[in-house]
Chains A and B, each alone.
Chain A
């Protein structure tokens, strides 16, 4: 419950305050958003499975975002930034898809 309330508060704060993102963080934003989506879908599925845990949810959220950004940062330094972005997007995309499928099975029993 705490995590959900906190997230909603954070989203509202982000929308109202509209802080500016530093220019050198800009390349990592897409990947961070996709990682956040993955954590959200994972959390929703765990909730439907009845095993949701706030601590695990927030930790996976944070680590997803940080690790995804780190991988892309590393890729940028090695000159394979766009390929790394693709790799991360593919992996997270597959996870989002299968989590979404699981959520669908829970909700529609189909």
Chain B
């Protein structure tokens, strides 16, 4: 308590009092020019120091800024590299498709046609045709038309339900923001964004599906997916559906199967030595692969229906 009393009762530097007393007694030291100059220099230095400190404190710490800039640069660099690799991948895939086409169309037109159909179903090659375009836009909580608790954002489940509905309605190829969906595509959430495979997408989400637009629209409206889309309006999510005369959907590029084995297919190293006879069995094998791969989609749509009824 003594300490606090002392601090509180005598906040003024006792020096002021001492000097005043000495001056009153006539014992104050005389002022000199040199002393005045020293005081001036000291005052300038102290003022500059205090101002500099205050200014420096108002700036954000340079270390934090540096780290942030570094991370930003790394992210930009990584994204650029990923884009570059994706472009290279697409170019090589196109080349592979071209070479395969050249080889098969001259040797075996039937096999080439089969290959083309399978490539479309597998989502490997770009396709064009009439279809539906659906644009889902996140709700905007700022104008009060949407809740501000995260439910105004388009969720991965919304896109899953929509895509499954489109497949079930007869879509032949589907993209989300230009990402072609294949049999191995995953749609999931990561924070506010939706990941399609490993590509982060953000609102607005444009889902394009090639197929008969009128039929798909009618079937979609009758399915639970249609009801799901309609129910999104209460979260402020805008869904616009439009029929398109001509859609161009990008291909996924060459798919690499890591674990799946094609039933009845010859071993990869024996394939080169195969004659025309084996080629027909190889031609049916991708069909099985595609059928087998597509069935999870159908199963998936059933699962989502189940989830909705919960």
Contacts and interface: CB of A to CB of B under 8 A. Distances in A.
A13 B44 contact: yes
B293 to A, nearest CB: 58
B66 to A, nearest CB: 10
Contacts of B42: 6, 58, 62
A78 interface: no
Secondary structure call for the A interface: helix
Contacts of A50: 20
B103 interface: no
Contact of A13 (B11, B23, B47): B47
A36 to B, nearest CB: 4
Nearest to A3: B43
Contact of B50 (A5, A32, A45, A55): A32
Contacts of B50: 10-11, 14, 32-33, 36, 65
Nearest to B24: A51
B12 A42 contact: yes
B41 interface: yes
B62 A6 contact: no
A2 B39 contact: yes
User: Would you list the 4 A-B pairs with minimal beta carbon distance, nearest first?
Assistant: A10-B47, A6-B43, A14-B51, A51-B20
Q: How large is the interface on A (under 10, 10 to 19, 20 to 34, 35 or more residues)?
A: 35 or more
A7 B43 contact: yes
A54 B43 CA distance: 9
A65 B49 contact: yes
A11 B47 CA distance: 5
Contacts of A54: 39
B41 A6 contact: yes
B46 interface: yes
Contact of A14 (B15, B48, B57, B62): B48
A50 B23 CA distance: 12
13 contacts: A2-B36, A5-B40, A5-B43, A6-B40, A6-B44, A7-B43, A11-B47, A14-B52, A45-B11, A52-B16, A58-B43, A58-B46, A60-B13
B39 A55 contact: yes
Contacts of B49: 10, 14, 32, 36, 65
Interface in B31-90: 35-36, 39-57, 61-63
Nearest to A13: B48
A46 interface: yes
